[in-house]
A and B are shown apart, each in its own frame.
Chain A
Amino acid sequence: MKIRSVRLREVGCFVDPVKIEGLVDGLNVLAGPNELGKSTIFRALRTLFQERYHSNNAQTKRLRSLREGARVGIPLIEAEFEAGDAVWRLRKQFAASKTSAHATLHDANGGQLVARGPEVEEQLQALIGGVEVGERFGLLWAEQGHFEPIKLRGGQEAALRQAIEQEVESVAVGAQFREVQTKVREALAELESEGKQRKPRGRYKDAIERKEELGDAFAAAREAADRAQQRLKRLADLRESRERLSAPERQAELQHKLAAVRSQLEEARQSRAHRERAELALKEAMLNRKTADGEFARFEEMRATLKKLSSEIGGAEGQLALTREQVAAKNLAFAAAREAQQEAERNETRAREVLRAVEEAERVRLTKDSLEQLRKRLKGGNAAQRAIDEQTALVNKNGATLARLKQIRALYSEVREGATRLAAARPTVSVGYFEGAEGRVRVDGRVLDDGETLNVEKLTKLEVGDVGEITIEPGVQEELVDDRIDLEARQHQLEDFLREIGATDPAHAEILGEERSETENGLAQATARLALFAPNGLAALAQEISDLERLHGSAAVRDDLPERGSAEQAAADAQNARALATNAIEQQGQDLATAKAHAAALVGQLDGLKADLAARRSLLPNDAAVEEKRRVLEADVGRSVGTHEEAMASAEMWRARTPDDSALETLVLREKRLRQQEENGQRELQELEAEMRAIEAQLERDGDDGVGERVGELEGQVTQADEQVCRYQSEIEALRMLGETLGDVQGEARETYLEPVGKRIRPYLEMVFDEANVDFGDGFDVTGLTRGARTEMLGHLSDGTREQIAVLVRLGFARLLAERGQPAPVILDDALVFSDDSRIERLFDALQLAAQSHQVIVLTCRERTFEMLGGNRLHIEPWEVGE
């Protein structure tokens, strides 16, 4: 089918009738500015072929022109097209009312009316294909900005399929296939969620939950059953324990043991009471015996005391008489001692007076000797003082002190060193005479000896006899000038020092130094002597002599005195004698006092004894009474001894028969242990029975709950639920495999099915994109572009690329239709607005290529750019409707 012309009236912006004629088989271009009405023409053509003339939908309403005054016109569209071998003129007036809407189809060549009204749509369908009116064309039309994925309507897809199926022998999947696929998906969706994380749902989920619930219930029942079994076991154990505890032989044995130990204990306690009583009796007997013994002993003691007192009184009286005699003797001795002491004191006084006289005489003698010594020391001191004076004068005269000598020595050494150094720097002249010429050389009138060396210090002239004069002038050496000046200064200072001490040269100075040193030594010795003789000075010594002479110069010395040693001995002896006498009198005094005290004590003792005796005699006045008392007491003692021995025998017997504390404690503990054993047994028995009752009650409840049967019942149900889950799992696995296989087959089929389309699109794609291919989805919608190994989703591509793909895919579809004998025009309404200059030229090439196969109609506002496209240029012209 090819469009030859199109005419409009009251369509959109075209209120007045316009026409476009002269469309050719190949490429047709209508270029013009915006608002020229290109999109109106596009929509008009689409409506003409796609919509029924009486349609009153948005598409047809949109066509209505807007006249001035808002009056709405009735759109009239007419087109001539070539289909089959004829050219047809189709006219439709679109209106809401049936009276205004009409359609006609004429044979354009002959002008005959072929159809009118509804028949037009049928005829049109027959002429342009076995699908819904015009859908095939809509498939190929690209509108401005509409480059989203191609969504085919049923008829459009059918048209393409029809074309493809003419080419592909085995068509892939059909409606039944999809129906099965849908059912599989639905069946799976009933059992599990979609996506990667497939989760059970619906009946499958219910089955799993039931299985889990039953599993839990089964586990709980099993646990309850196990507990019941444990209770049964525990009950058996308890019964066994109860039997053991309540066994008669066990009870009898325990009671027998208890009775035996209690009997032993009672016997032991009775024995113990007997023993205690025997012990008490023994104690009492012992006490009685002790009392009787005591009484007797006291009696005997009293008897002895009486005897002793009588004896003691006799003794004391004798002793008192003796003591009184001793006191008298002591009094005499004391008086004699007093006399001796007085004599000794007088002797001592005399001896002391003699000693003092001896000491005085001795002191006078010593003072005289001392005066002589002092006078000798004064004499020596005076001589020493004179020597000091002489030596001091000599020292003062000699200035060669050690310090000065040190200075002279240092200067002399420096002068010598300086002279030597200067001499070394000066020329020397040595003389050696030939034989016979000795003494012919003179200097300053002096003959130089053979071999003498002369150090030339200044301008010197040597006279050589009979020869002449030799003048030697030492050169001036600047570096020695300072040395010479320094040497001269030192020589001057040396000479000053020598002059100062009166020395002619350094050797003389040394001699003077030695003389001074000797004088100083003499002075020191004299000074030492003076200090020895008069340490405090000569004046003090003289004063001391004067004082002694004044004190003792006139004292006389006695001749009748003994030697000092004898006098001292006599004095000491007298002192000792007096001390002995003193001691003797003190001793005598003490002895006398002692004797007196002893006598007094004896008197007191004697009085006491006599009083005691008198008191005791009041109880036992005579021997008969004593003897009577003795007999009575002896009888008491005899009785108490008998009673005591009996008590001892009894106590001993009970001690032997009574168990000791340890044995009794053992019996008590044993009784306690057996009693506790009995009590514990009873308590344990009660506890056992209580626990048994509780377990039996629980077992009864278990029985009421049917624990055992419940386990069996649930076990079967768990098995059933498990089998059910397995069945669902099996079903899911089968459905998954079926679904995957369906998907695989569908994918492969799609590739085969789309190959005819791809084959037609590929040449156009390669003209615009290098080595590119488009990817299709389930239908014919483009999902992406593959360039080389890279696939890009359509939505990720640029607007320009997407609009280019939209155009190229339509060219491919059109080529397929054309090659399958169903040519249809491709109409592009400003469908290439985003393409850059480079791409658009390639697209122009593609459009030119496409125009070789089918009609292409391009509507564009880009007049200058599309000049490069070439093709048949179209124009809008006024249309005389009557034409």
Chain B
Amino acid sequence: MTFRFMHTADWQIGKVFGGFDHDTAGLLKEARLGAIDRIGDAAVAAGARHVLVAGDVYDVSVPETRTLRQPLERMRRYEAVTWHLLPGNHDHLRDGGIWDRLTAIGLPDNVIAHLEASPSEIQNGIWLLPAPLKGRATSLDPTAWMDSAVTPDGAVRIGLAHGSVRDFGTAGETSVRIDPRRVKLAGLAYLALGDWHGVLKISDRCWYCGTPEPDRWPDNDPGHALAVQVDGHDQAVEVAVLETATYRWLKRSQRIEAAGDLNALSKELAGLELENSRLMLHLTLTGSVSLRERAAVDAKLEEFSGRYRHLLCDQAALHSQPDSEDHEQLAAMEGIGTVAARLGEIAAQEQGAQGQIAERALLRLYELAVAGGKDAER
């Protein structure tokens, strides 16, 4: 008995990207819906008739009605695929909540919301044991009931849950704990977990699939779905990791001494064979550059900002200090050299805010005196 299905989770439809410009925020939002298409396509391609969504289909507890409907319409299009949805901690089950609203709206025929902790046969001999969450946090293991869940002999029992089997610390998404021995205790052929946004294999039969579309610069490995094949309740499980992300959230730290140092990064990014418009770049610059070079760095960053979908540049650790040429240029102007020297002195001596202000003032002096003055906002 071979059973193929897609394992996905943490779609978090409706997530807003307030920290981004309006256009980018819209695209990122749309990309999360696009992930459903890619998962549906992958299911069709893999011959999987079922997609198990391990919680957090929606991001907020009170989304717009339009937001509620959007993923339903995407799923509806894949008639040959049945989508099994599970309330997670973001969209947990509650009276009048998302799931009641969905029920009121009416789910497509190929979409099943598993709102009760009870086994259901989703295919001949294949029993799904869902563990819907009824709160953001719970001290009880929502999968505990699976141990005593009654299914016919020889049934393939597949668990579907949302929570943490590891002490993920601050990176954990939920306060829901799941006993990592659940697979064995409940005789599960596979436990499909959601919550952790990167792909993570807990055991051969227990996986986190991660979110299909990243929403931040993570330290894990997001942007995937899993194609799973189960050949029987005691047979080996095959898991294939499929890429589903539209946007690549890339984090880089670069130490520079001159604007030219950014060229290497530019080349590296070009080599990713990724459309620049799909690159979300978080750049942390460190080091120290001359005033003259600082202007060039700023110019380069402006270029990056235009090239990639988004650039977040942290320059707090990038310092600007006049070199001899800067000094020469400034000293050539009556009195300016003296001012630059004094500001340089404050910047060098003061470690705190005063030092940073002096550094910024020095940079502005250079811009106004030498470069002719630039936009104060930059």
Contacts and interface: CB of A to CB of B under 8 A. Distances in A.
B376 A731 contact: yes
A190 interface: yes
A717 to B, nearest CB: 5
Interface string A166-201: 000001111111001001100100110000000000
Contact of B343 (A172, A232, A737): A737
Contacts of A734: 357, 360-361, 363-364
Contacts of B66: 706
Nearest to A728: B377
A708 B58 CA distance: 11
B360 A703 contact: no
A741 B333 contact: no
* Interface range, B side: 35 or more
Nearest to B373: A183
Interface stretch (B9-17, B30-38, B167-175): B9-17
A187 B14 CA distance: 42
B67 A742 contact: no
A544 interface: no
B344 to A, nearest CB: 11
Contacts of A728: 377
Contacts of B361: 734-735, 737-738, 741
Contacts of B376: 187, 190-191, 731, 735
Contacts of B373: 183, 187
Contacts of B357: 730, 733-734, 737
B95 A716 contact: no
A700 B101 CA distance: 8
Contact of A235 (B64, B95, B336, B358): B95
B1 interface: no
A714 B376 CA distance: 26
Contact of A741 (B18, B61, B67, B342): B342
A725 to B, nearest CB: 12
Interface string A695-711: 11001101111111111
A231 B63 CA distance: 14
Contacts of A319: none
B122 interface: no
Nearest to A710: B16
B32 to A, nearest CB: 12
B365 A180 contact: yes
B352 interface: no
A705 B18 contact: no
Residue picked from A184, A703, A735, most chain B C-beta under 10 Å: A703
Contact of A708 (B14, B17, B18): B14
Chain A contact patch, size range: 35 or more
Given A172-B334, A174-B335, A708 B96 contact: no
B336 A177 contact: yes
Contacts of B360: 730-731, 733-734
The secondary structure that dominates the A interface is helix
Contact of A705 (B64, B101, B342): B64
Given A708-B14, A737-B358, A239 B334 contact: no
A225 B61 CA distance: 9
A232 B334 contact: no
B368 A709 contact: no
B63 A174 contact: no
A695 B18 contact: no
Interface in B306-341: 333-336, 338-339
Contacts of B95: 232, 235-236, 238-239
B97 interface: yes
Contacts of A232: 61-62, 94-97
Contacts of A737: 343, 346, 357-358, 361
A400 interface: no
B334 A173 contact: yes
A708 B54 CA distance: 22
Given A184-B368, A734-B360, A741 B343 contact: yes
B335 A177 contact: yes
Instruction: Name which of A184, A232, A744, A746 has the most chain B CB atoms within 10 A of its CB.
Output: A232
Contacts of B18: 712-720
A749 B335 contact: yes
Contacts of B65: 700, 703-704
Interface string B72-109: 00000000000000000000001111000100000000
B60 interface: yes
Contacts of A745: 335, 338-339, 342
A727 interface: yes
A153 interface: no
A704 B334 contact: no
Contacts of B67: 706, 709
B343 A702 contact: no
Interface string A296-312: 00000000000000000
B369 interface: yes
Contact of B61 (A172, A700, A708, A714): A708
B335 A703 contact: no
Nearest to A238: B95
A716 B339 contact: no
A225 B96 contact: no
Nearest to B354: A737
A731 B373 CA distance: 13
A553 B335 CA distance: 181
A235 B365 CA distance: 62
Interface in A512-530: none
Contact of A699 (B96, B334, B343): B96
Interface in B350-374: 356-358, 360-365, 368-369, 373
Contact of B64 (A171, A191, A706): A706
Nearest to A706: B64
Nearest to A188: B376
Contact of B63 (A703, A727, A746): A703
Contacts of A720: 18-19
A711 B358 CA distance: 38
Interface in A670-726: 695-696, 699-700, 702-720
Contacts of A173: 334-335
Nearest to B377: A727
Contacts of A735: 361, 364, 376
A406 interface: no
Interface hub of B334, B358, B376 (most chain A Cβ within 10 A): B376
A162 to B, nearest CB: 15
Contacts of B358: 737
Nearest to A712: B16
A180 B368 contact: yes
Contact of B16 (A174, A175, A716): A716
> By CB atoms of chain A within 10 A, which of B338, B343, B362 has the most?
B338
B48 interface: no
A731 B356 CA distance: 11
Contacts of A191: 376
A203 interface: yes
B339 A709 contact: no
B68 interface: yes
A731 B364 CA distance: 9
Contact of A703 (B68, B364, B369): B68
Nearest to B338: A745
Contacts of A238: 95
B335 to A, nearest CB: 4
B369 A712 contact: no
B16 A703 contact: no
Contact of A183 (B68, B333, B368): B368
A229 interface: yes
B62 A703 contact: yes
Given A232-B94, A730-B357, A719 B19 contact: yes
23 contacts: A175-B334, A180-B336, A183-B373, A187-B368, A239-B95, A703-B65, A704-B64, A706-B14, A706-B63, A706-B67, A709-B16, A709-B59, A717-B18, A719-B18, A719-B19, A720-B19, A727-B377, A734-B363, A737-B343, A737-B346, A738-B339, A738-B343, A741-B361
* 4 closest cross-chain pairs (CB), A and B: A716-B18, A708-B60, A174-B334, A706-B64
